[in-house]
Structure 1
């Protein structure tokens, strides 16, 4: 693996991946510009549309520079300057202007595609500049500059009289650049080195942090002509990019369809009962008519006719009901197929996750000064992209520990008979209804005896408990809060750092984590994860007539409380010990059980903490479609979501983490300072930083810079989303762009300063809008640093470290 870095600060593999992200982003943005130009080509150019096109090209300029594509950044800057001349009136608007700009944008798209091929890119750039010169020449012929400067663009006509006899801008450009001209060498070398092995990115890589999902489609219908679009699509897999929120809304609609089908089934049952009752009434009528016999006289024939017609109607209604049942079954099959298809769209292969982890792992290995090989298997294993995104940070923490404290230095490995290069394996596989991911290293392993001594020293275990504990119990105890194994002089391989938070995150996903280790041979962490976050297995139970759900993955058993008195005990005795008992009726404000001698309870395990909760009646396991509670109810601490029953009733899903907090309110045990002459470093989780930028490429690049330096990074695509995340999660710092849709960086900083809990949050502004007024305004709004784009890894990390050190030295307001 090559670790050589280009001018952008990324190695070859990182640069290749980031540039593939940038190409996806650039195509989306340039297609948006083309749509706006086409929409306005027969009318006046809307000022808001022009401003949006300027913002888009400005974003592309910064993104290209960030990933090291200086030539593309220069072309985007020149296109932005053209739009600025349109805004000032230096270039007048007309259909010919729109045609010329569309050709220029199309050429810029080709420049992006050829960015890693300097000779082809130089030819495209020359072509683009000739097109721009032709547009400027056309504008100069159409109207005197002084007149254009004095006439606002909104008051000019779209096409002056006689313009139809003038040469189109595209023709002028083509005449200026004949197709058979010799290619001239460029004096300006490309800033991007050629990458002959740079293959097109796998379609799944288009799944972005902003929530977009990429769907590969058949490339057979790609244009066969010589157009730019055809050249771009030929010999590649076409990708349809869809916002993940749209997929989620469709999944919700399929869920509603399933509920509708259930209601139809209930109505069919009602109809069948009505048919049976109607048929019984008909038979009764026939029997009564037969019993009356001759006394009915002439009415007997009339009643017989009514009975026959009634029998025909009952038979027809029975046939219609049966056909309706068949249609409902077909509807159910269609809904199931739709749900399966949409679930498949939400899936991402493990390859995407492993590639992201591999890039970060190389950076961590470089900083640790160790050589490591990464081996992956099961790359085609698919699971929910939402799960993959959320599990990235926990796995990265495990890898960081493996590199820093598990893999030995080369000298020690050679002395132990191992190859000097360490090996880390990432494996994914499906098993039953879950996805398993194994993270294995061939390092020093974990010493259980040393762990026992540490637990006793920390006050977590007594000496007797340490002696009785099995090796498996010792390894499980590493996930307990308060465990720190960071002494570099011990033989613990540093495995306790942050493992409690790792298990907490995985448990919230409905998963679990286990560890196995052999001294001198290595350690393996195994993560069990749900295949999808949309559909879940849950245990349903009733309290006070309402149905609640607990995810099945956390349920150990259902039992009866066998108490010796009517009073509810504090703990529930099980076969292998006792667990805290939470009276859920009291928590929910429902009547408590009058007699505890026969009450059902559910035993759950969450992140290694066990407890039992009471209920009125256990219904049993069901497959449910998990739905968000929405903004009004999302802050309720006891609930993780909701689902809808077949009868249309809302059923709330209990947050197992909240139950654990009720049952285990005690804080982790901290070791007093006087019990250790040299206490271990505190087990402090890495700082969490929020990055806000509307460019996917910049978000990805900055995230990699900060993640490689040990930070946990979240991203937001605009200021409004960033503000929501800041209110929901505690962050150590904010890194924000200025130019963003919905809410820009200045608006975000203003909103933060008005919020009591965000007013003192350290903030760094990154932008290519580096004018003095922008810098001064950022400073007035509380930004501690202003870093011009393109951002380099060294500069950003150094600025953030200084900022966090300074923030740690300043006491909080009111202290």
Structure 2
């Protein structure tokens, strides 16, 4: 068939594409300076010949397709051609190019090719037509592989595009291999693997990474043989291809320090692939589950073109249409470094917004103070006006002048007939006008502050939106590395002789790309651990009534502002008794203490360095590395890990991780004169303990929270600082660590805040510190961000011998634990006065201070509860009618809190009705007085509640 049945318009499309392809080949084979082009410059052009071959086959020009195939094979194997014979070979290629040009011109004139001429050319140059076995290039030794071959000089921008693309192809090859492991004769998967290898090979040659192209060419040859039915996919072939993609990953790292390793592994896998390709067809057991398309011989022109070639040509057409799709989708590539710079700028914007909000808060406070002063001025003006503005001036006794005559002329008017003014009257009026002007200005100022607050809220929403969008641009699906886990399961199952399936879900859950990179190794450890330690052997599973094949579940999801990853197996669960026995054998726990351990305490022992319950030592397990590595890696990215297990049913590890590492939410605390940030992801809860709630047991400060006893440490002493004394119990921040919950006593809680984490640098003091970075607070001060696990673990390690570094909390033998007890200050003192009236707070506060009492004031019920939570008072006095929370709600809240459950509460209100009194007393008030109150009566009431000893000396 010579294209006679093709519409003229379609033949025109083919001719245009062919002309463009031939021009590209001509530029490569005929350099402008007339020299002989080196192999490295012409090898990437094989892709042009490949496209020409596919297009010619699609349009029925079999002769042209045959010549293009010869060109493709010759160019692809150019690098392996003997250098001495290369110039003569280039002349053959140039002659082949002219033969192609003649045929294209003939199709343009006559609409048909000359197949006989094409076959004649091929016969004359048969010695230059590469065979399938030789097309991959000869085998070489490690010594023959030059550094430039393995680590070529590539354009940085080109490589930045090629590397992620190659990584995607590598993962696609692995995914296809894993499917073939279950369905070795699936023609669609075989075709997909072949096409992926072919595309990766072409991309590598195009950018000049010949080593990758040559290696993947071997893979393509094997899969081509599988497609044609000459070979079948075996476990050995799959292993060899898996090893090939491992070598490709090493090559993509472009690390000169790995050259020796890469050189050895490259040669080993290349020779292995070549041996497989050279295996005679009759020596390979061929079992084909479904017909595989085979290329139709060229000698039969009446048959349709090969299906594969048609697909390749269709792919070429899709490539032509791609620019339109790109224009519509507006897709561009942006480097991660640029996104990080943008995110850093957004972080600076967040800090700037925080500063502006702080300034606005100060302005609001000043506005409130001015409003108080204005009210006092208004009161004074009103009093002055009542005294002078409406008082008639005395009649003047003056005589004579015009002014006097004018005034005396008004004497005949009565007081009700005409208003008369003197200087006091005028001053009173002017002061009243000034007061009104101040009031109007204050009203405008309040309105401006309110609008500024609204604008600040809008700015906050824009900033957060910008931050989220930029952070989202850095995010990738967490399922990207899941293919590696499938491979890990396959290898471990084979190594242990178990039958294991991996089920994944939530692959599209997105997290920061940096997190994905740093999660791969810990997750591989967990998956391998599940296969090796969790899943039982087939015989054991069947005996227990379980399915013969074990299952490992890998699930990812978003939960709030965190990403949750669960690694679960349906194996035998964690053998707690075996863990205890191993811990005793290692000398990290005493036998009597091990016997008294709970299951949750015992399970935490698996995070000890070097701890393993494996009976044998192998490549994948029993080496003492794994769970401690996982713990450190997860904590290094501000995450934490939890364990759930059930004997005979399986184990689940849950990893909680932040979505991004650059911008986070933290709790700011004050310790001494310094401020620190604790990532919110590390905090379980915050407790404000009542007096006596923290008890000393065996030299430790223990806080009972629910049914759990929390070991409380001084934040200051853990950092090596001096513990400052305080006026009341210190707030306790309960944080999660790998060995359980720990309470950190701090001096003050400053509130929750979004922070931008900046790296501290690579100096050794920073690397070995317990800080993961630093941030800037709204007031412009540098605040260190704490890694609580490192802080608690590091201090414990310093205090104990090397053999007892990890399980100290379980052993109860810390030699310096008494030094870590926090100072909880003196008992409750002072009086808290809660009232929404400034006048009452000032007036009553002075009465109490005059009686020798220390007084704190709160502006409303909500403020009162906050202050009552921050310290312990001897007495709380509260109004009933207040905004936000009324007095009854305040009493109820105070009585439900352990800290204020027994604190005397005195109600002071204008409501004198018995109904109000009884309700207050029934809810827990210990006294009830009505306003206005006399000083003596108030002091007497206070003394009855707390005694005269509550007064300051």
When normalised by structure 1's length, the TM-score is 0.51
Specify whether residues 231 and 337 from structure 1 end up closer, same or farther in structure 2 by C-alpha distance, changes over 3 A only: closer
Specify whether residues 610 and 107 from structure 1 end up closer, same or farther in structure 2 by C-alpha distance, changes over 3 A only: same
Which deviations, in whole Å up to 9, do the C-alpha atoms of 1:90-121 show, x marking residues without a partner? 6699xxxxxxx9xx999778799999999899
Paired position in structure 2 for 1:139: none
Residues 124-163 of structure 1 aligned to structure 2 (within 5 Å):
none
Deviation at 1:662, TM superposition (A): 0.8
- The partner residue of 2:738 within 584, 607, 620 is 607
Residues 46-445 of structure 1 aligned to structure 2 (within 5 Å):
187=130, 189=132, 195-197=190-192, 228=319, 230-231=321-322, 240-269=332-361, 294-295=422-423, 320-445=448-573
- The partner residue of 1:618 within 749, 752, 763 is 749
Deviation at 1:640, TM superposition (A): 1.1
Paired position in structure 2 for 1:500: 628
Specify whether residues 267 and 450 from structure 1 end up closer, same or farther in structure 2 by C-alpha distance, changes over 3 A only: closer
- The partner residue of 1:637 within 757, 760, 769 is 769
Q: Is the 8 A contact 2:570 2:650 kept in 1?
A: yes
In 2, distance between residues paired with 1:268 and 1:171? Answer: 79
Q: Is the 8 A contact 1:482 1:669 kept in 2?
A: no
Q: Is the 8 A contact 2:353 2:460 kept in 1?
A: yes
Q: Is the 8 A contact 2:488 2:528 kept in 1?
A: no
Deviation at 1:608, TM superposition (A): 1.0
In 2, distance between residues paired with 1:114 and 1:473? Answer: 68
Q: Is the 8 A contact 1:430 1:436 kept in 2?
A: yes
Specify whether residues 405 and 488 from structure 1 end up closer, same or farther in structure 2 by C-alpha distance, changes over 3 A only: farther
Deviation at 1:225, TM superposition (A): 12
Paired position in structure 2 for 1:480: 608
Which deviations, in whole Å up to 9, do the C-alpha atoms of 1:366-390 show, x marking residues without a partner? 4445443221122232333322222
Deviation at 1:530, TM superposition (A): 2.6
Specify whether residues 281 and 111 from structure 1 end up closer, same or farther in structure 2 by C-alpha distance, changes over 3 A only: farther
Residues 676-691 of structure 1 aligned to structure 2 (within 5 Å):
none
In 2, distance between residues paired with 1:315 and 1:196? Answer: 77
Q: Is the 8 A contact 2:702 2:712 kept in 1?
A: no
Q: How many matched pairs?
A: 526
Task: State whether structure 2 residue 791 is matched by structure 1 residue 658.
Answer: yes
Paired position in structure 2 for 1:469: 597
Q: Is the 8 A contact 1:560 1:601 kept in 2?
A: yes
Q: Secondary structure at the match of 2:670?
A: strand
Residues 445-464 of structure 1 aligned to structure 2 (within 5 Å):
445-464=573-592
In 2, distance between residues paired with 1:437 and 1:603? Answer: 23
In 2, distance between residues paired with 1:227 and 1:663? Answer: 63
Q: Secondary structure at the match of 1:197?
A: helix
Q: Is the 8 A contact 1:536 1:625 kept in 2?
A: yes
Q: Is the 8 A contact 1:538 1:552 kept in 2?
A: yes
Specify whether residues 114 and 329 from structure 1 end up closer, same or farther in structure 2 by C-alpha distance, changes over 3 A only: farther
Paired position in structure 1 for 2:651: 523
In 2, distance between residues paired with 1:122 and 1:637? Answer: 68
In 2, distance between residues paired with 1:251 and 1:234? Answer: 29
Query: Which has the larger helix fraction?
Result: 2
- 615-624 or 372-381: which moved more? 615-624
In 1, distance between residues paired with 2:55 and 2:616? Answer: 47
Paired position in structure 1 for 2:910: none
> Which sections of structure 2, spanning at least 5 residues, go unmatched?
1-23, 59-64, 77-86, 88-96, 123-128, 137-172, 174-186, 198-248, 254-314, 390-420, 806-953
Specify whether residues 436 and 315 from structure 1 end up closer, same or farther in structure 2 by C-alpha distance, changes over 3 A only: closer
In 2, distance between residues paired with 1:537 and 1:578? Answer: 24
In 2, distance between residues paired with 1:631 and 1:425? Answer: 38
Specify whether residues 294 and 559 from structure 1 end up closer, same or farther in structure 2 by C-alpha distance, changes over 3 A only: closer
Q: Secondary structure at the match of 2:192?
A: coil
Paired position in structure 2 for 1:773: none
Q: Is the 8 A contact 2:710 2:743 kept in 1?
A: no
Q: Secondary structure at the match of 1:486?
A: coil
When normalised by structure 2's length, the TM-score is 0.45
Deviation at 1:441, TM superposition (A): 2.6
Q: Secondary structure at the match of 1:501?
A: helix
Deviation at 1:82, TM superposition (A): 8.6
Q: Secondary structure at the match of 1:513?
A: strand
Which deviations, in whole Å up to 9, do the C-alpha atoms of 1:262-298 show, x marking residues without a partner? 3333444555567778887798799789968642899
- The RMSD of aligned alpha carbons is 5.8
Paired position in structure 2 for 1:572: 701
In 2, distance between residues paired with 1:619 and 1:117? Answer: 70
In 2, distance between residues paired with 1:351 and 1:299? Answer: 80
Which deviations, in whole Å up to 9, do the C-alpha atoms of 1:221-243 show, x marking residues without a partner? xxx99695534786998854322
Deviation at 1:335, TM superposition (A): 1.0
In 2, distance between residues paired with 1:373 and 1:124? Answer: 46
In 1, distance between residues paired with 2:27 and 2:755? Answer: 50
Which deviations, in whole Å up to 9, do the C-alpha atoms of 1:289-319 show, x marking residues without a partner? 9968642899999999999988887666655
Q: Is the 8 A contact 2:53 2:69 kept in 1?
A: no
Task: State whether structure 2 residue 638 is matched by structure 1 residue 510.
Answer: yes
Residues 40-51 of structure 1 aligned to structure 2 (within 5 Å):
none
Specify whether residues 304 and 555 from structure 1 end up closer, same or farther in structure 2 by C-alpha distance, changes over 3 A only: closer
In 1, distance between residues paired with 2:714 and 2:432? Answer: 68
Deviation at 1:396, TM superposition (A): 0.7
Task: State whether structure 2 residue 622 is matched by structure 1 residue 627.
Answer: no
